[in-house]
Copies of this chain bind each other. A is one copy, B any other.
Amino acid sequence: MRPSKATYHHGDLRAACVSAAMELLEESGESALSLRAVARRAGVSPAAPYRHYADREALVSAVAALGYRELAERLVAAHPSPSTPEQLTSVAVAYVQFALERPALFRIMFGEPCDRDNDERIAATAAVTLYLREIVGRAFPEADTEAMATATWALVHGLAFLHLDGKLAAPTPSAVAERVTAAIQVLLRTMGPPGLEPGTYRL
């Protein structure tokens, strides 16, 4: 069903809006993400998106929700089912890399006062949380999963943001990966089951 251009109705403006918004975001940053620009790119009048999104915030939330899903994909791509500290570490590195490769999107997802009532957004972030807790629990069945997942997420999230803001000098992506790896391993070593040697966790 190819989109017929010349019709009054768009067909799937709802989806087209988040696509256009995502493109604008990646091309020109958050400041370029205006409802009017989205409408222009979707080839539609400035008021049309309001039929599908209550306001700008709602559209941004939809983009953020898509971002959460793409982040999740990226994490499972790093390792489909991590069950060792090393595998968990590679997932952590992927998290930070995602933030650095798509800074505007990442800021939309985490750096903004978010709409707590957006169902799509709630569901998407809950999925990330659960996934994280699951893999941490699998990697360290005997540890306090809740505490460990929280600490791990916070560490990685903080590294991502500090890098994003240029608070941590990190010339190359591999340097970033090294730093994340080292930090995560230190954290994991403590909280993991006793008796494991440092060498065990090397990547």
Contacts and interface: CB of A to CB of B under 8 A. Distances in A.
Interface of A: 29-30, 103-104, 107, 110-114, 116, 125, 129, 147, 150-151, 153-162, 165-168, 178-179, 182-183, 186-187, 189-191, 197-198, 200-203
B198 A191 contact: no
Q: Say whether chain A's binding surface is mostly helix, strand, loop, or mixed.
A: helix
B114 A166 contact: yes
Contacts of A203: 178-179, 182-183, 186
Copies of this polypeptide in the complex: 2
Residue of A111, A156, A178, A197 with highest tally of chain B CB at under 10 A: A111
A111 B114 contact: no
Contacts of A182: 147, 151, 202-203
Contacts of A150: 159, 162, 168, 179, 183
Nearest to A128: B167
A160 B113 CA distance: 13
Given A189-B190, A190-B186, A110 B154 contact: no
28 contacts: A103-B113, A107-B112, A111-B161, A114-B165, A125-B167, A147-B182, A150-B159, A150-B168, A150-B179, A151-B155, A151-B182, A154-B155, A154-B156, A154-B158, A154-B162, A155-B158, A157-B158, A157-B161, A157-B162, A158-B159, A158-B160, A182-B202, A182-B203, A186-B191, A186-B200, A186-B203, A187-B190, A190-B190
